[in-house]
A and B are shown apart, each in its own frame.
Chain A
Amino acid sequence: MTKPAFTEIGAKPLPLETNSCWSCGSMRAAHFCESCGKVQPPAPVDYFSFFGLPAKLTIEVPALETEFYHLSRKLHPDLSARAGSQEQEWSLEQSSLLNDAYRTLRDPIKRTQYLLRLEGVELEEQSKSATEQARATGGVKKQIVPPDLLEEVFELNMQLEELKMNKQMQEDDAALTAEIAKHKTALEEKYESLLQELQSYWKEWDALMERNPRAESPERKQISAKMVDVLNRRNYIRNLVRDVNAALEN
């Protein structure tokens, strides 16, 4: 009997709550029965578990892709066309789960956001809770966006406004346009470097997962907070670059 394919990427053992195969009664894997190979009803698992992966952020995307194609073929609803309609429905549900899981995990940002959601962090809530904390302590709010980035954003917005006014007056200020373009390049570089920063936090996270995946440690919160911070800054810069592009094109 061959080992189920999904264990090849990750070393995660089968969940303890694995049920018996509906068809032959043997213990089943996540998607197929290990003994008879029949497709199983989708189990409520997260995307990492769906691929048999531990909840780590550094992922070998080529291996994930191989596994995705492998599972796609095996879970394809056409395969169970001649089987009962129940089996085909499970195939359909599993296939759709597979697609969602793959699309989320192969993208570094979506993968991180997904993991943070699993950790119970809502990105949009960050700013509000920081305000509430500042109010309670009477202190100044801890800014989600670092001050130097804010200065840059403000400065650039001032220049963009000037550019728009110049355009309305039919004036062309080559020096200003060049200045803005220079800013834009710097921001794009920062955008790229934030991904590297994020990846360094992945390593911290993965190391923690190796030591103790279920730990409720302050470290766990700290690492996810750092990832949230990077994602927020990245969003900010992305919006800004979009505004700059719009202003330069008009």
Chain B
Amino acid sequence: MSYSDKVIDHYNNPRNVGSLDKSSTDVGTGLVGAPECGDVMKLQIKVNRETNVIEEAKFKTFGCGSAIASSSLATEWVKGKTVDEALSIKNMDIVKELSLPPVKIHCSVLAEDAIRAAIGDWKKKQEAPKPVAAEAK
């Protein structure tokens, strides 16, 4: 099995590798893993407080080329989208874009999971009561 050119491109030049401040209230963090292959993927988003638009996205993935490419692509796609728009990204979109073979579909599933988990974390932070001390000032 050989990787598609797009996978190789993302693998060699991954977009948006890095991390954001996990404790910040406008940052959502998704950490997901696949027991099938032992891959682990962290995806973080920074959301604009007024518009709910994802302004920044970072990832770090330990896993195969397809997992790295899937998460790299995911960060590219969520940027500029609102959180609700980002939730509409499906793993099959990633499969198509990267021409992933059937055995690598779980990598795209992982990337979709990571987006959902990051957004879920962000939403939880928005619902949580703000720390009193920070709000009072």
Asked if B116 is at the interface of the complex by the 8 Å CB criterion, the answer is yes
Task: Return the chain A residue nearest B30 by Cβ.
Answer: A140
B residues engaging A (CB < 8 A)?
A: 31-38, 40, 42, 60, 62, 87, 90-91, 106, 109, 112-113, 116-117, 120
Q: Given the complex of chains A and B, what is the CA–CA distance between A158 and B117 in angstroms? A: 20
Instruction: Decide yes or no whether A127 CB sits under 8 A from chain B.
Output: yes
CA distance A147 to B40 in the complex (A): 11
Closest residue to A134 on the B side, CB-wise? Answer: B116
A150 touches B32 (CB 8 A): yes
CA of A150 to CA of B40, assembled, Å: 7
* A96 at the binding interface (Cβ < 8 Å): no
For A149, what are the chain B residues with a Cβ–Cβ distance below 8 Å? 33
- Chain A contributes a number of interface residues (CB within 8 A of B) equal to 30
How far is it, in angstroms, between the C-alpha of A135 and the C-alpha of B62 when the chains are bound?
24
Contact sample, A vs B, 24 pairs, CB 8 Å cutoff: A124-B36, A127-B34, A127-B109, A139-B120, A140-B117, A140-B120, A141-B113, A141-B117, A143-B113, A143-B117, A144-B34, A150-B31, A150-B32, A150-B40, A151-B31, A153-B33, A153-B38, A153-B62, A232-B35, A235-B36, A236-B33, A236-B35, A239-B38, A240-B38
**Residue of B whose beta carbon sits closest to that of A232:** B35
Known: A239-B37, A239-B38. A131 touches B31 (CB 8 A): no
Query: 5 extra interchain contacts, Cβ-Cβ under 8 A, other than A141-B116, A150-B31, A236-B35?
Result: A134-B113, A135-B90, A145-B34, A158-B60, A239-B38
| Given known A134-B113, A140-B116, A141-B113, contact A243–B35 (CB-CB < 8 A) | no
Contact with B along A144-169 (1 / 0, CB 8 A): 11010111011001100100000000
Measured CB to CB, the nearest residue on chain A to B124 is A140
Contact A236–B113 (Cβ < 8 Å): no
Q: Choose among A124, A128, A140, A154 the residue that contacts B40 (Cβ–Cβ < 8 A).
A: A154
Measured CB to CB, the closest approach of chain B to A235, in angstroms, equals 5
Inter-chain CA distance A233–B34, complex, in Å, is 10
Query: A152 — nearest CB in chain B belongs to which residue?
Result: B40
Residues of chain B with a CB closer than 8 A to A235's CB:
35-36, 38
Q: How many A-B residue pairs have CB under 8 A?
A: 68
Contact of A138 among B35, B42, B87, B109 (CB under 8 A): B87
Residues in B with CB closer than 8 Å to A141 are 32, 113, 116-117
Is A131 touching B109 in the complex (CB atoms < 8 A)? yes
Complex alpha-carbon distance, A151 and B40, angstroms = 9
Tell whether, in the assembled complex, residue A145 and residue B106 are in contact, meaning their CB atoms are under 8 Å apart: no
B95 CB to closest chain A CB, in angstroms?
A: 12
> Contact at A143–B33, with CB atoms within 8 Å?
yes
Measured CB to CB, the closest approach of chain B to A78, in angstroms, equals 43
Q: Give Cα A127–Cα B91 distance, bound, in whole angstroms.
A: 13
Quick one: given A141-B116, A154-B62, are A127 and B87 in contact (CB under 8 Å)? no
A144→B16 CA distance, assembly (Å): 26
- B113 to A, closest residue via Cβ: A141
B129 to chain A, nearest CB (A): 20
> What residues on B are CB-neighbors of A124 within 8 Å?
36
Chain B's nearest CB lies how many Å from the CB of A156? 9
Closest B residue to A145 using CB positions: B33
Contact A127 B36 (CB under 8 A): yes
Task: Name the residue on A nearest B105 (C-beta).
Answer: A128
